[in-house]
Structure 1
Amino acid sequence: MHISIPVLVLGNLLVYLQNGSIPDTVISLLLSSILALFLKTLSLKEEKKEIEALFRNIYRSPEKWIEQIEMNYNNSLLNYEIGQIINNHTNINDVLDSVVQVSEKRLNYDRGALFLADKEGIFLEFKAGFGYFERDKILLRKTRFHLKRPDSRGIFVVSFREKRPFLINDINNIEQDLSKRSLEFAKQLGSQSFICCPIMYENKSLGIIVADNIRSKRKLHQSDLSLYMGIASAIGMALKTAELFEDKEKQFQSTLRILASSIDARDPLTAGHSEKVTEYAVAICGLLDLDSDTTEMIRLAALFHDYGKIAIPDTILKKEGPLSSDEYLSIQSHAVKTREILEEISFEGIYRDVPIIAGSHHEKMDGSGYPGRLKGKDIPLGSRIIAVADYFEALTAKRHYRDPMIVDEAIAELRKASGNHLDKEIVDVFIPYIQTTLGSGSEKTVSA
């Protein structure tokens, strides 16, 4: 049997007490034993606390694991969805709207906002956000932050200018570092804690992204800042990509306008015809509630609907008086030539149907049109829209062989052609538009 040292010491102590004296060595040993016993008891208490803490952690760990897993999952989806924005959106406003929607869905913040520098790089302006009351949105829209004042101490401006992020858990702690205007702005929005990160591309600041909590009391951490910095970087890439696409689109559209104007330039009398037909066609698209991509494609087809006339001799194109049969066939050939020329441009994406739509605007609902004698719904919708716009513009414009028709007479002609020549549904929505936009009267012309 194992007997502990304190028990043995206690037995010897009783013997010495009976003899009437206790040696110093025994006293020393006794004190050491008592100290050892005390330390052992203390150690056991600490072990007990550690065991209790361990069990508490084990009990709580599943909730923490689930919360962490959900956070990692959301962050992964956020990164994926922002990547999709970069790949799929070529318009800056679409990028901003999409980023805000994804952020609101995936991030655990009450509010978020995007600010971008204006084209001159002088002001920082609110562009999009989520979680704000309407009064806050009004304040954000009317507030601009000056980027060129060297003494500006606002967090937004400093973050943009110095290209560094900020994590503030209590705005009162930095009150002395803020300008009076910045402090008043923060108080009006009710901000207490927030994150602010610069949006950059190739080390150039484009704007800032901000997030804050006003309803939840969750403290912001370094992990929040790191996540937002990653988002800001992705937004910078998305914005730059969209900007490059928009610049390319502007160049493309400019080139097309020059090409389209080359047709009207051949004859001062018909100058502006293509642009007027395009204006009417776009209006009809709006009346039919067509989406923006379809409208843009029809707009371009309308702009080029007569481009094949570049191959028609001036002696026929500008002839005053009736055309011979051969001359009329030559004029009709412009529809085929339009399609052939436009097919050489290699339109892509939303513009891929431009050649066939532009080349089919002389088809008729009853199948008597040209060049393909298409009938009814076999005629592309864009072609049917352009046909109505072209018909009305031709009636109300001056030509070599006649004066322009007054609006009321042109409307009457539209109604006569409705159903057999022109699409009735399109004519029915276009006439009220003409009456409202241009007015009507027995002697009123489009140019009057």
Structure 2
Amino acid sequence: PTLPVSEPLLADKPEHLFERGENEVIPQDNPLGFKLDVPLHKYNRGELYNLSIVRGTLTSEERYVINHHIVQTILMLNHLPFPGHLRSVAEIAGGHHEKMDGSGYPKRLKREEMSLPARMMAIADIFEALTAADRPYKKAKTLSEALGIMAIMCRDAHIDPELFGLFIKAQIHLQYARRFLAPEQIDAVDAPALLAKAGLAS
């Protein structure tokens, strides 16, 4: 354009859009059953677009990149020559982001479609992530905080409530805490209240 021209302070422009290559699109009929919503663009650097994120700080394109790590996990593990007794490693490791109501990823499995070890792995993964002190982006939760969050996740059909109940009743959380958590993280846990919050007791 002929100068001078007006330039908006913030804008979404065509050059902000980065196309996704065909080889990066997961086919609907893929043999491993992945059911991820693949955004049209690989990246969208639009300024207004990025300032209009409804929840959190990630665009759908960025969230897809993060969620895709579990696809890579399953693909890699499926190529390893596991002995017979370890044949289900890919299914167990690859299911910790699935939810009991089928709204998780990468396969949108429901509770009855998941193995018992895969549902157990999801609980272990979440508990470890909430209480870990080595994450630079967040502060480690106390026992009561972490378990309170997980009880709500039971109500939201995110994790298996019966296994969470066993996790509490068998005091697995406490065994883990004594070995791996800092003393200041180990606070009092009201087991009956947690079970009630999880929908397991009145």
Q: TM-score, normalised by structure 2?
A: 0.55
Structure 2 residue 102 is matched with structure 1 residue 340: no
* Cα distance per residue 1:369-404 (max 9 Å; x no partner): 000101112112111111000001111114332211
1:40-439 equivalences under 5 Å are 322-398=57-133, 399-419=135-155, 420-431=157-168, 432-435=171-174, 438=177
Distance 2:115 2:65 in 1: 24
Q: 1:394 to 1:437 in 2, by over 3 A?
A: closer
Q: The residue matched to 2:184 in structure 1 has which SS?
A: coil
| Structure 2 segments unaligned to the other structure (5+ residues) | 1-55, 187-202
Kept after mapping to 2: 8 A contact 1:322/1:401: no
Kept after mapping to 2: 8 A contact 1:407/1:444: no
Distance 1:388 1:444 in 2: 22
Q: The residue matched to 1:395 in structure 2 has which SS?
A: helix
Distance 2:138 2:91 in 1: 30
Identity, % of aligned pairs? Answer: 41
Residue 445 of structure 1 aligns with which residue? 185
Which protein has greater RCO, CA pairs closer than 8 Å, 6+ apart? 2
Question: Quick check: which has more Rg, 1 or 2?
Answer: 1
Distance 1:437 1:380 in 2: 23
Kept after mapping to 2: 8 A contact 1:358/1:383: yes
Kept after mapping to 2: 8 A contact 1:396/1:406: yes
The Cα of 1:362 is off from its aligned counterpart by 0.8
| Structure 1 segments unaligned to the other structure (5+ residues) | 1-320
Q: 1:322 to 1:400 in 2, by over 3 A?
A: farther
Distance 2:95 2:136 in 1: 25
1:379 maps to amino acid: M
Higher helix share: 1
The Cα of 1:437 is off from its aligned counterpart by 5.0
* Cα distance per residue 1:324-382 (max 9 Å; x no partner): 32222111111111110011112231111111221111100011100010111211211
Q: How many residues align?
A: 123
The Cα of 1:438 is off from its aligned counterpart by 2.6
Q: TM-score, normalised by structure 1?
A: 0.26
